[in-house]
A and B are shown apart, each in its own frame.
Chain A
Amino acid sequence: MLKKRIIPCLDMKGGRVVKGIRFESLTDAGDPVETAALYDRMGADELCFLDIGASVENRGTLFEIVEKTASRVFLPLTVGGGIRSTEEIRKALNAGADKVSLNSAALARPEILTEGALRFGAQCIVLAVDVKRDGNSWRVYSHGGTRPTDRDALEWIVEGARRGAGEILLTSMDQDGTKQGYDTELIRAVSRAVDLPLIASGGAGCLEDFARAFEAGADAALAASLFHFGTVDIRELRRFLAQRGFPVRPPSDNALSGDSHG
Chain B
Amino acid sequence: MAEAPRTAVIDYGMGNIHSVSKALEATGHRVAIVSDPGGLAAFSPSHLVLPGVGAFGEGKSRLEEGGWIPLLEEWIQNDRPFLGICLGMQLLFERSQEFGSHRGLSLFRGEVVPFDPGKGKVPQIGWNEVVRKIDHPLWRGLPEAPNLYFVHSYRVQTPDVDIVLGETDYQGPYPSMVGRGRVAAVQFHPEKSQLAGLRLLENFGGF
Q: Which residues of A contact B (CB under 8 A)?
A: 1-5, 40, 45-46, 67, 70-72, 74-76, 93-99, 118-124, 166-167, 195-198, 219-220, 249-250, 253-256, 258-259, 261-262
Contact = CB atoms under 8 A, between A and B. Distances in A.
Contact of A197 (B54, B121, B149): B121
Interface of B: 15-19, 22-23, 26-27, 53-55, 117, 120-129, 141-143, 146-147, 149-153, 169-170, 189, 191-199
A9 B198 CA distance: 24
Contacts of A167: 123, 125
A158 to B, nearest CB: 13
Given A3-B126, A3-B128, A5-B127, A255 B195 contact: yes
A167 B124 CA distance: 10
B111 to A, nearest CB: 19
Given A76-B149, A259-B141, A5 B126 contact: yes
Of A46, A72, A262, most buried by chain B (CB within 10 Å of CB) is A46
Interface SS of A by simple majority: loop
A259 B143 CA distance: 12
Contact of B127 (A3, A124, A166): A3
A74 B193 contact: yes
Would you call the interface of chain B mostly helix, strand, loop, or mixed? Answer: mixed
A259 B195 contact: yes
A5 B16 CA distance: 22
A197 B151 CA distance: 11
Nearest to A40: B194
Nearest to B192: A76
B56 to A, nearest CB: 10
B151 A2 contact: no
Contacts of B16: 93-94, 96-98
A71 B121 contact: no
A96 B121 contact: no
Given A67-B18, A123-B53, A197-B123, A2 B128 contact: yes
A46 B126 CA distance: 9
Contacts of B199: 256, 259, 261
Contact of A70 (B22, B122, B146): B22
B18 A96 contact: yes
B198 A124 contact: no
B151 A124 contact: yes
Contacts of B26: 74, 261
Given A71-B22, A96-B18, A123-B152, A254 B125 contact: no
